[in-house]
Every structure is written in C-alpha cells, then in structure tokens.
Amino acid sequence: DHYSRLAQQLTKLPDKLRHLAWLAMESEAGEEYWVSMNMAGKFASACHYTIHRALAKRLGLKPLMQVENHHNFAWLEEWNGKPVYVHRKGATPAHAGVLGIIPGSQGHNSYIVRGLGNKLSLNSASHGAGRVMSRKQALQTIPKKERDAWLSERGIELMSGGMDESPQVYKDINQVLALQTDLIEPIATFAPKIVLMSSDGKSED
C-alpha cells in the first residue's frame, strides 16, 4: 500500500488510471521497492520451509524435494538478450522442466506440475484455480454451515480457515488445468484431508 500510494504521487495519471501508476526502477523508490519485495518473497519461502520441515519431523518423514508456488511476484529475466521485469500476477513460473504447484482449494485437488517453457505465456501458468467470486462476496453470501457441510461430506477436516477461502468460491481446477496443456504437465495429484489456513478473524467460532 505504501509503495502504491508513493507511485500514484510520483506518476501523474488521470484518476481513472491511477491504479496503473509505477515506480521507475532506476529511482531510489523503485530500488527500495525491489529490495523490499524480494525480502518479502524470501521471508514467505522461509516460513513455508520451516512449517514443512517441522511437519515432516513430527510425522517421521523425509521430504524428497521442496516445490514452491511463488506467485503474484516480479522476476528479473532475460528476453531476446535484454533484461526485463516479468510480473506474474495470478501466475507462477513454468519454465521448461521447473516444478511448481497449482492448488485447487480447501476441498479440491492440488497438482505438482512440470513447466513446458511456453514463451507465448512468458514461461508462466496459473497459480491456482482462480476465483468465481470476490472475498467480500464470499463473506456475504456463503453460510458457514454450508461451507462446513460441503467439506464434511467429502471427509475433509477443517482446522482453521476463513469463509473467503471456501471451496465454493473457486473454479474447477481440472477445467483450469485442461486449458493449460501447452504450459504445464501435471505429474502428481494431492487430495486434501486436513485444512489449516489462517483465519480471517470474522468467520470462526
């Protein structure tokens, strides 16, 4: 929010286009944002690694590899011999041979995928199933009992999770994957049994 406001102050655009404001990467603010964004990305990755390591230790398992779903992020890459910034909003890297995760929802399958390196998509694929309603709409329209019953019928135990992440708010992950056969190759499927997500602070008992 801070950098978005700063960009809007520095980039004078018509009111209807203010959300398209940017920070020049050669500017002090742009460099500061780039460093901050990458620090946040490394922090998130470290948190995931710590959680997974602790869970594996508790279960007495040895992880074979670590696969990430790094998304809504920007990368400095080389295209046609030139350095460019690739912002994958709603997307995750899918370079040739690179493993990634495309999750469904609290109640739908998730997939480990291998990237095919499609340059027409900037070596990218969707970072998830995608929503059919906004978080606000989900909070206003889906009763908690309906969400809980939906998961219970499928044998899924919900330990914690906000109504804005109800499985009903997401598209069919299988249909989404079917539209990306030129971007990724699914190599493993995971069905949810236990869900532990951050609470939204509004919809828990």
> What CA–CA distance (Å, rounded) separates 187 from 114?
7
The catalytic residue positions are: 127
Tokens 């590899």, located at residue: 65
In a 13 Å sphere around the CA of 54, the CA atoms on its Cβ side amount to 6
Strand-pair category, 157-160 with 184-190: unpaired
Nearest CA among 6, 78, 70, 13 for reference residue 44: 70
Phi and psi, residue 120, nearest 5° = -65, -20
